[in-house]
Amino acid sequence: MAGRVEVLQVDEGNLEELLAVAVEDAAPEEVMPPVAGPPGWTTERQEAFRTWHRARCPGLAGPLRESTFAITHDGRIVGSARLALRAGHDVLETGMWLGRSHRGRGIGTATLRVLLGEAARAGARAVVADTEAHNTAALGALRRNGATLTASQDTVGIHAELSPKEMPPPAPSTTDP
């Protein structure tokens, strides 16, 4: 992947662009908690998406203790990531989604690296993530960022733990192998 990956706090200035990426390039169940009703991006689902992100605008210090970020690749929003406080104030949970047309390019790996830097700045001692054994893209991004992976007893779920790392400031253009 050539290009620059950054994360921007989700706010009113980028929320509609993030929603447009979700509607055009992802299924609702890939990007948000379930909403009752017919399948697809209904008006109700789109409003639930907005409400979910707006509730997280206060960030880690807010009542939900969670931040959401728009993932950008070369300045264009391509997905979303989150960090949420867990187990006190020194463990953060992370998760992300990318629009289908942006998957498989190393953007997830680069985003996780940026999130580890955000976690270090927030004072976290660990970052955790949960995924499923069939999610090879997520597992690859986690491995490339040094995660310790543990399979659940049913072997479907995978728990990952990572160490936050202060990242050097990004160069104007970076390449992620």
Of 64, 61, 42, 43, whose CA–CA distance to 53 is shortest?
64
Number of neighbours of residue 51 by Cβ within 10 angstroms? 10
Could you tell me the residue ranges of all domains in the chain? 5-162
* Average pLDDT of the residues of the chain: 90
pLDDT recorded at residue 165: 78
pLDDT confidence band for 3 (50 / 70 / 90): confident
**Partners of 8 in the beta sheet?**
70
Q: Are the C-beta atoms of 151 and 111 separated by less than 8 Å?
A: no
Whether the pLDDT of residue 125 is over 70: the answer is yes
What digits encode the pLDDT tens for the residues 88-99? 778 999 999 999
- 96 CB-near residues (< 8 Å, 6+ apart): 71, 79, 80, 81, 82, 108, 111, 112, 115
Q: Quote the strand ranges of 1-125, DSSP E.
A: 5-9, 66-73, 76-86, 91-98
pLDDT recorded at residue 154: 73
pTM as predicted = 0.88
Whether the pLDDT of residue 163 is over 50: the answer is yes
Whether the pLDDT of residue 60 is over 90: the answer is yes
Mean pLDDT of 137-157: 89
- Residue 51 CA: distances (Å) to CA of 97, 117, 168, 177: 18, 27, 34, 36
pLDDT recorded at residue 1: 57
Whether the pLDDT of residue 82 is over 90: the answer is yes
pLDDT recorded at residue 58: 95
CATH of 5-162, one of 3.40.605.10, 3.40.630.30, 3.40.47.10, 3.40.50.150: 3.40.630.30
Extract the tokens encoding 99.
């629009």
